Amino acid sequence: MSTDIVLIAALVLALAALASSLVLSRRHHAQQVRLDAMQSDLRALCNAMMSLAQRQGLVEQQLRQIAARQEELGLRQQQHDDPDARSYEQADKLLRKGASAEELVEICGISRGEAELLVMMRRLDGGTS
């Protein structure tokens, strides 16, 4: 009878080990499926990161080109923002419309001598500019 109990105990232990093995096998399979999905997601993220890095490089290159162009234009703008240059540009426009030296002095804020010189240059130039 004692051998029967030992055999039954061994059988119960074997069944418990088998059930435990089946549970562990299912968990392993589920974890493998999750791992495969995560690896796939990671590959997709890596590809997206590489694409973004390339795009960022292009954008940075374009920004450098824009910054260089703005600097170039900024220098021209500074020259254009010079109050004296604006006064003479305005005087030139007024001269093309037939303004007198006195009008240039009043409107552009230049001296009488400068205004008369501009009028004289305009006449010598044949009235074209």
DSSP per residue, 7-43: HHHHHHHHHHHHHHHHHHHHHHHHHHHHHHHHHHHHH
What's 125's DSSP letter?
Answer: T
Please check the confidence at residue 128 and state whether its pLDDT lies above 70. Answer: no
pLDDT at 89: 85
- Most distant CA pair in the chain, distance: 138
The answer as to whether 20 is a domain residue is: no
How buried is residue 60: exposed, middle or buried, by Cβ count under 10 Å (0-12/13-18/19+)? exposed
The answer as to whether 70 is a domain residue is: no
The answer as to whether 66 is a domain residue is: no
Which amino acid is it at 73? Answer: L
Percentage of the chain surpassing pLDDT 70? 88
The answer as to whether 89 is a domain residue is: yes
37-48 average pLDDT score: 96
**CA–CA gap between residue 86 and residue 37 (Å, rounded):** 68
The answer as to whether 122 is a domain residue is: yes
Can you give the residue range of the structural domain that contains 123? 82-129
Q: Is residue 110 within 8 Å of 92, Cβ to Cβ?
A: no
The answer as to whether 59 is a domain residue is: no
The answer as to whether 88 is a domain residue is: yes
Q: Is residue 112 within 8 Å of 91, Cβ to Cβ?
A: no
How many domains does the structure of the chain reveal? 1
The answer as to whether 24 is a domain residue is: no
pLDDT at 38: 97
